[in-house]
């Protein structure tokens, strides 16, 4: 049977309560790494303070804000660490990956993956957060150009030529489209809450009612209630209220307007990522209750990926937002396991 016609393997799909992961003590059940694992696989951190720094990339005349976290400041002559680049979605900035929720445990996936031994990076896309403002709508194609500009900074600062990408929602679309455009820069891809053609999505069907607005306006309203809806529209209770409020607190200083480009792409231009052109290993991670990333839609994408190194894992008790879900530790586990997999010996 040709690989492109191969149906979704049962062992690759872990659904609902069959996930078999326990949030408590999750680090203790991580698989041991093979002796053949290359230097691109992160080793557990030996401890120490998390160091951070801001950077700037330029896309033409547009300044793009980058942020980096890792354990310990880089030292001259030391070996580089594997880089994971976090790509944000339509309605939030990169703060979603570095959120502080006092009294509710760790919510910063950048902190967590820095402790795992990764060199963690993220950015605000054009017209988001601290990055430059233009008259554009910051669509997926624009996001790919943002990532191209960011990659030049990563090459200079880390010495690496390839990077892992972890994107959520339209951030997953940006990451996948970037992997098509620059396959020599894209290592392993974690695509969370990803959308292929949008088939069967009630959220996208509702959003499409505003299609003419997205076509004629480059910005849309984004208030606290809209941010809250990210965690409540699919399945209330899958995210802590404190985390949603902390996200709104972090986002609102950047204003109540956000670009329409990714909404336009997701309601009228799908697919923007073509699986046969994605050569990287891919992990697809939707939540059980995701109103955008439906299982049949993602399964169709999964079955067309040319790289046999691919996984499709559904997170139980989780909706569209996996990085800030109550069950976020499940996401950390599957993402870390995928990014630290040893290189296959037989292919």
202-210: average pLDDT: 96
150-159: average pLDDT: 98
DSSP codes joined into one string, 279-305: -S-EEEE-BTT-SSS-HHHHHHHHHH-
Predicted model pTM: 0.88
* C-alpha distances out from residue 247 to 226, 230, 298, Å: 11, 10, 27
Structure confidence by residue, pLDDT tens digits, 112-137: 999 999 999 999 999 999 999 999 99
Q: Taking 60 as the threshold, does the pLDDT of residue 44 lie above it?
A: no
Where residue 203 falls among pLDDT bands split at 50, 70, 90? very high
Q: Taking 80 as the threshold, does the pLDDT of residue 52 lie above it?
A: yes
Where residue 43 falls among pLDDT bands split at 50, 70, 90? low
Q: What is residue 231's predicted lDDT score, i.e. its pLDDT? A: 83
Q: Which residue has the higher pLDDT, 276 or 346?
A: 276
Strands 119-123 and 13-14: unpaired
Q: Taking 80 as the threshold, does the pLDDT of residue 92 lie above it?
A: yes
Structural domains in the chain, CATH included, are: 3-31+52-339 (3.40.50.1820)
Say how many C-beta atoms besides its own lie within 10 A of residue 31's C-beta: 10
Burial, 18: exposed, middle or buried (Cβ in 10 Å; 0-12, 13-18, 19+)? Answer: exposed
Secondary structure of 263-282 as H, E, C letters: HHHHHHCCCCCCHHHCCCCE
3-state SS class at 242:
helix
């Amino acid at each position: 049977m040709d690989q492109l016609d191969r149906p979704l393997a049962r062992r690759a799909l872990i659904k609902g309560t069959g996930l078999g992961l326990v949030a408590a003590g999750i680090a203790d059940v991580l698989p041991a790494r093979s002796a053949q694992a290359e230097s691109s696989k992160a080793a557990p951190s030996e401890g120490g303070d998390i160091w951070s720094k801001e950077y700037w990339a330029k896309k033409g005349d547009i300044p793009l804000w980058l942020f980096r976290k890792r354990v310990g400041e880089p030292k001259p002559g030391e070996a580089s660490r594997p880089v994971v680049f976090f790509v944000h979605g339509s309605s939030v900035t990169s703060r979603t990956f570095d959120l502080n929720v006092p009294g509710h445990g760790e919510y910063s996936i950048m902190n967590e993956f820095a402790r795992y031994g990764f060199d963690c990076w993220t950015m605000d896309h054009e017209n988001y957060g601290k990055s430059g403002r233009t008259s554009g709508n910051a669509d997926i194609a624009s996001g790919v150009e943002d990532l191209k500009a960011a990659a030049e900074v990563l090459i200079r600062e880390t010495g690496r030529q390839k990077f892992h990408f972890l994107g959520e929602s339209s951030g997953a679309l940006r990451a996948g489209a970037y992997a098509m455009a620059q396959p020599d820069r894209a290592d392993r891809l974690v695509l969370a809450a990803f959308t292929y053609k949008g088939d069967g999505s009630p959220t996208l069907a509702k959003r499409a009612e505003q299609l003419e607005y997205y076509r004629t306006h480059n910005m849309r309203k984004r208030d606290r209630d809209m941010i809250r809806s990210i965690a409540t529209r699919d399945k209330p209770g899958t995210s802590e209220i404190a985390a949603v409020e902390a996200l709104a607190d972090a986002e609102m200083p950047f204003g109540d307007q956000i670009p329409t480009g990714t909404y336009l792409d997701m309601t009228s231009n799908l697919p923007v990522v073509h699986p046969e052109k994605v050569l990287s290993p891919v992990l697809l991670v939707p939540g059980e209750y995701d109103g955008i990333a439906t299982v049949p839609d993602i399964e169709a994408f999964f079955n067309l990926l040319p790289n046999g190194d691919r996984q499709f894992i559904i997170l139980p008790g989780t909706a569209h937002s996996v990085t800030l879900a109550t069950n976020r530790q499940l996401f950390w586990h599957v993402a870390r396991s995928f990014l630290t997999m040893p290189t296959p010996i037989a292919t």
